[in-house]
Structure formats: structure tokens, C-alpha cells
Structure 1
Amino acid sequence: MRRTPLAWKNLVNEPRRLFLASAGVGFAAVLMFTQNGFRNALLDSPVQLIELMDCDLVAVSKARYMLPVNQRFPRDLLRRALSDPSVLAAEPLLIERLLARVRVAGQKARPIRVVSVPSQPGWLSIPGLSELRQKLQPPGAALIDRKTRREYGFNLQDGEPVPQVVELAGKRIHLVGSITIGTDFANEGTLLMRESEFAEYFPVRGGWQPLEVVDVGMIRVREGDDPKEVAARLTSLAPKLWTVLSRAELKQKETNFWKEQTPVGKIFSIGTVMGFVVGVIICYQILFTSLQDAMPEFATLKAMGYPNRFFIGLVVRQSVFLSLFGFVPAVLVAWGLFLALEYFSGLPMRLTVMRCLLVLGLTTSMCLISGLLALRKLLRADPASLF
């Protein structure tokens, strides 16, 4: 005997109510997508530069608790690291934020991140960088990150810079090309220049020795050697001055700082929780009204001897269906919203499968909790009192 899909029919019986219910669930899902998206952007964006480094180990100052701070170590430590038999090569990466202020003609000066291009190719896996290295040879040449915020006033056509007057630290620079790195919550834009240019534009960096202090050391280990053992040996060269980590460890350190030590990470987490709570309230109202309208029919079934588990199963199925009806359009809206936010902010708004499944789980849980709360009256009541 074929059973009637009562949960499905309760939902689709009134298309207008189903549309409004789905819109309410979808609104809550989009709210959770957005808050979770901003939180993930907060955690993904600071490690973008680390992900572009083509090396096994990275060295940073012992005092550098996150990448944007200006804490450096002596370049001589990298030279000493080359004496380790397990070290294949080492290359410094210079990053300047404190002294780097850029001004486009007609705009006010703004701080910007300036990153050095290693003297040897292959250390930064930035698409298109190898083809543009030759253009960086003339003095004052620089590359612009395409995702730099529009507020700077850089004139880009089809992603490439057009001639305009630009000053960095009070001196003229020439934008000769563009690459893509991405912004984060500490850096709204990025320029790339040859390492030797740092001495010209930031002469007081590092106490009048601009090229003798290093922000990040990139180290390659010989094949077959244990990177962890090499990192420990290199750290012991000057444990008070620097620490050597794997790229994964540095990424985790950076992510943990933004997630646990900054209020922004907690705010976005709270925003996701608030979206969940709002969704529970919306779904409760929807499901409670649906159950209330069908209460005489449910009373009849209860009087006929249907057990409570039947009604629980009915509401669970109805809640799951409702969560799917609301979730599918929410994914499409969130996808379009993420594209727009990434375009205007430069932040990496990534909508991955795992992140979609997380929001789907929250949306389904939200509907289930609401449905079970709305069912309490039916489970406790005498059938005769429900007519």
C-alpha cells in the first residue's frame, strides 16, 4: 500500500505560503552565508601572500606576531642559514608598510603595502610575474595589484595600468604592469618593486640599512631532508631574533591570530550565530502557523491512535524539505553577492563546497529546531481539546 507523502503535501498545498516560507528560510541562510563569508575572508586574506611563496620553510622575526607588523631580522641570518648542509637556497622578501604612502595625481596620499620581487625568479608563484620581470629593470618601475582598492585612484583599463602621475614616498614611480595578489583587512593595496628600489624609496628603513633587514626569509630544503629538523636547527642559530617555520605553520599562526586575538573574527562569528537565531524565529513562525491550521486533522489522526513519533517524523521531514526549498535560492544569491563583494573590496570571498555544506547543515538544524518547538502543543495536548 502506497503511503501519502503528507509532509510534502502540507508544504506544496499552498504555493503562496510555500514561497513566503522559502523566502524566510532563504533570508536567514543568506545572512549566515554573508557573515560566514566575511569571517572566512578575514582568515583567507592574510595568508594570500604566504600561499604565493614557493619554498619549504619561512623565517620571520621572533617579535612578528602577524605578517603586517614591522618586525624584522638581520639579513645576515639568511647568509648563515646557507651554511646548513640541508639548505638548498634562501631568499629574502622585503615588505614595507609604515613608510609606504602612495599618491595618485588628484587623490590624497594613502598607505600601501610594497613587496620586493626576489632577485632570482621562481620564488613567488604569482601568475604573469616572470613575464613582467624585464619591465621592472628601469629605475622607479613597479607592478600594481589588480585588486587594489579603487579609492587609491589608480587608472586600470582591462586590468592594466595606463600612464598617470603616481608618487611613492614622495618620489615618482612608473606602473609598468599588473599582477593579482589580493587585499586583506590590514592592506588595501599592493605594489611590487625590485629589491634594490627599497634603498631608493625607503632609505631610513631598518635604521639607514634598508636592504640589511628582512621581513620574511624563504628557504628551500634539499630533497629527502626533514624540514622540521632543518627548521629547528636554523631557529637555534638565533632563537631570540627569528623563528623558522613551515609555510603551513606560518599560515596557521596568521589564521589563529585573526581568529582568536582580534575582535573582528569574534564579531563575524557572532553574526553567524545571530543569523541562525533569526532563522529559528522565522521558521518557528512559519511551521507553527502551518501546524496550527492543520490541527483538527492532526487531532483526528491522534484520536485514531497515531503515536507521537509519527508526528515527529512528519515535522522532521517537513522541516528538511523547507530547509532545501530555502537553501537552493540562497546559494545562488550568496554566490552573486560574493562576486560583487570580491569585486568591490578585493577580499577573497570563496564559496567552497565545504562552506556550502556548513550553511546547509545550519539551515537544516535551524528548521528542525523550529519544527520541534512548534510541535510541542500537539504532542502534549488531548485530541479532544484540539478540535
Structure 2
Amino acid sequence: MSRTPLAWKNLVHEPRRLLLASAGVGFAAVLMFTQNGFRNALLDSPVQLIEWMDCDLVATSTARYMLPVNQRFPRDLLRRAMSDPAVTAAEPLLIERLMARVRVAGQRARPIRVISVPDQSGWLAIPGLHEQRQKLQPPGTALIDRKTRSQYGFQFDRHGNPLPQIVEVAGKRIHLVGSATIGTDFANEGSLLIRESEFARYFPVRGNGRPLEVVDVGMFQIDEAADPVAVAERLTSLAPDLWKVVRRADLAQKEKKFWSEQTPVGAIFFIGTVMGFVVGVIICYQILYTSLQDAMPEFATLKAMGYPNRYFVGVVVRQAIFLSWFGFVPAVIVTLSLFWALENYSGLPMRLTMDRAATVLVLTTSMCLISGLLALRKLIRADPASLF
């Protein structure tokens, strides 16, 4: 004879109360999703450009502690690196932020990130770049990032292509001939893509008057049989005081570590997640405590009949798990919609992966379990006669 699913019936016998309880748990889950989403966006957004580099190794200046910093190394190091037998190709990437100020007609000038398009096709796998790169052949042309913040005043058609408009970069006219999808981060609110040779036209004082002879990021492709770590060490040894060569994944990890550990923003979002968890514990405690209080005479009867405390713990644990599921599923739906809206508004990559959803599910379940066990204390400690 099967047992009565007491935990399930305690939850579903009053649909209205279940709906309110699920909404409370879902609210706490959405709060944790949002805080985690912003924290992950903080870590994902700075490495988007790195992830789109189709290369094995990358080089940056030893003084460049994060990618947005304007510290560079001589281009001659890339030429010297080509003497290594394991290096099959090398390509510079130029990035200008300090002198790059863009002004759309009718708007004030704002800083923007300007990225060079490598001479060889395929080094940057930015969505939309391959189809648009031929449009950059005429001088004075650029591609605009579709996710550039609206405050710049750029105008797009419904397909995300720039409309005819007057735009100046560093005081010189530039024509927007297409668009690509890059995305913003906490240091860059927009981006332009131009040919490498155009850096000499728009930023002539860059690199002490030699704008093309200083490099922000060096990209290397190496022989498949070569050990990337060993090659990186050899290349670094060419000028250890000027640059450092690492695997692309290592540079991405360095960027994430900096933003997570060396800036207060990461800690703020972590605290926000903790606060969401605490709020959820309080909400769930009130829900489960009220449910137990209403059923206290029935529980007292079962306790007087000899049911052990572990039975009541099992009932509350199952009830807490069911409640976490009821709240979590609608929270995922709300979060997906919220992330879509936030990404469209801010340009930040608000990604909800399976791993991140599983993390919040574990937090939501833990939140409900802690609340249930706290609410159960009165029943565990009390004498059955005192509960009637």
C-alpha cells in the first residue's frame, strides 16, 4: 500500500496559496538570476574581442594589466617573432580609445573604441565582419557596432544597418558603410571598425607620430604540432620587458580575474546575489512556517501516533524542494525575457547558460531547504500534547 504524498498535498490543496508562494520564491530566484547575470556580463563582455580572435597565441604589453588600458609594444617584435619555426603567421591588432572621440551631427562628442580590421581575412570572427569587410576598401570608411549605446546618436534601419548621417572621428569625417555585432562592456560603450592603414589618418600622433608601428595586441598562429606554452615562452623571451605572449584562453582568464577580483563591481554583484538569497530565505520561511502552523494539529496527531522526527523532516524537505521547483520554472521564463530586454538596451552579453541556470537552481533549492528546516524547529522540539 503506497503512502499518501503528504508534502505534495500540503502544497497543492490551496491553489491560491501555492500561486503566491511560488511567486515569492520566483521573485527571489529572479533577483539572484539578475545579479548573477550582471556579474557574468561583467566577466563575459571584456573577453568578447579575445574570443573572436582566430589565433593560438596573443601578445600584449607587460604594462597592459587589462585590455582597455592604452599600453603597447613595438611592431618590430611581430617581425622578429616570425623567425620562430613554430610561428606560421602573425597579425597586429590596433585599438584606440584615448584619442578616439566620435561626434554624430547634433550630438556631443563621446569616447569610442576604434578597432583595426586585420589585413588577412578571418583573424577576427566578429559576426557580420566577413560579409562587410570589402566595404572598408575606400578611405574614410568604417563599420559601426550594432550594439553601440543609443546615447551616441547613431541611426540604424530595421535591419541594423547605419543610415546616412554625418559622423566625425578625432575631428575628421568618416562614412559608416555597414555594421557588425561586437557588444559593449563596462569600459566601452561603442565600437568602430576601420582598416589598419586608417589609423595613420585619424590618429597621426599615436605612437609618437608612428601610429602603425605600435601594436595593442599581437595575434599568432602556430604549427599544429608545436607546444603552445613552449612557443609562448620563447616569444616572450625575445623582449620580456616589453611584451608577454600567452595562449588566447589564458589572456581571457586574466581579463576575467582582473574584473572579478581587482574591481569593486564584481564584489557588488556578489553581495547582490547573497542579498537575494537572504531575501528568499525570509520569504520561504514565512511561507513554510505558515503552512506548518496551519497543519500543526494534524502533525501533532501523527507525532502522538509515534511517527519519528525524521518523518516530519522528510515531509518538510520534500515540500521545500517542490516549492523551489514551482518558483524556479517561471523564474527562468521571466529571466530570459528580462535578459533579452537588458541586452538590447545595454549591449552587454546577458547569457543564461545551463551551468548558470543550474547554479541558481541549487541556490533556490538550498534557500527553500534552509527555510523549511528553520520553520520545522517548533514541531521537532514540542511535546505532542502542547500542539493541540
TM-score norm. by structure 1 comes to 0.99
Q: Deviations over 1:34-60 (max 9, x none)?
A: 000000000000000001101000000
Partner of 1:40: 40
Q: Could you tell me how far 1:311 is from its partner in structure 2?
A: 0.1
Other-structure match for 2:77: 77
Q: Which residue of 1 aligns with 2:340?
A: 339
User: Per-residue CA shift, 1:145-184, capped at 9, x if unaligned?
Assistant: 1111111110110200111000000110000000111111
1:271: which partner in 2? 272
* Secondary structure of residue in 2 paired with 1:224: coil
Q: What is the CA–CA distance in structure 1 between the aligned matches of 2:378 and 2:130, rounded to whole Å? A: 69
RMSD between superposed Cα atoms in Å:
0.6
Q: What do residues 98-146 of structure 1 show as CA deviations (whole Å, max 9, x unaligned)?
A: 0000000011111000000011111111233223222111111000011
Within 2, Cα distance between the matches of 1:21 and 1:129? 48
| Larger deviation, residues 118-127 vs 180-189 | 118-127
Displacement of 1:382 after TM fit?
Answer: 0.4
Contact kept, 8 Å, 2:127 with 2:182, in 1: the verdict is no
Pairing of 1:126-165 with structure 2 (within 5 A):
126-157=126-157, 158-165=159-166
Residue identity matched to 2:101: R
Residue by residue, what CA displacement relative to the aligned partner does 1:308-347 show, whole Å, maximum 9, x if unpaired? 0000000000000000000010000000000000000000
Instruction: Report the residue type matching 2:50 in the other structure.
Output: I
1:372 alignment counterpart: 373
**Other-structure match for 2:290:** 289
Match in the other structure for 2:109 = 109
Unaligned runs of 5+ in 2: none
Q: Deviations over 1:274-313 (max 9, x none)?
A: 0000000000000001101111110110000000000000
> Which position in structure 2 is the counterpart of 1:239?
240
Amino acid across the alignment from 1:262: T
Amino acid at match of 2:118: P
Paired residue type of 1:51: E
Separation (CA, whole Å) in 2 of partners of 1:172 and 1:363: 53
Work out the percentage of aligned pairs sharing the same amino acid: 80
SS at match of 2:207: coil
1:239-280 Cα offsets, whole Å, 9 max, x none, are 010000000000000000000000000100110010000000
Instruction: Name the structure 1 match of 2:184.
Output: 183
**Unaligned segments of structure 1, at least 5 residues:** none
TM alignment of 1:179-328, pairs within 5 A: 179-328=180-329
Equivalent position amino acid for 2:356 in 1: R
Aligned-partner SS, 2:33:
helix
- The equivalent of 1:5 in structure 2 is 5
Q: What secondary structure sits across from 1:167 in the alignment?
A: strand
State how far apart, in whole Å, the 1-side matches of 2:299 and 2:68 are: 62
- Distance across 2 between alignment mates of 1:130 and 1:323: 46
**C-alpha distance in structure 2 between counterparts of 1:135 and 1:379, whole Å:** 74
Q: 2 CA distance for matches of 1:130 and 1:300? A: 73
Where 1:156 maps in the other structure, the secondary structure is coil
SS in 1 for 2:211: coil
The CA distance in 1 between the partners of 2:131 and 2:249, in whole Å, is 28
Letter in 1 for 2:27: F
Distance across 2 between alignment mates of 1:83 and 1:8: 71
Q: Is it true that 1:384 corresponds to 2:347 in the alignment? A: no
1:17 counterpart residue number: 17
CA distance in 1, matches of 2:17, 2:122: 59
CA distance in 2, matches of 1:134, 1:302: 79
- 1:50 is matched with 50
Q: Which amino acid in 1 is paired with 2:186?
A: F
> Quick one: distance in 1 between partners of 2:21 and 2:131?
54
Q: CA deviation at 1:375?
A: 0.1
1:363 alignment counterpart: 364
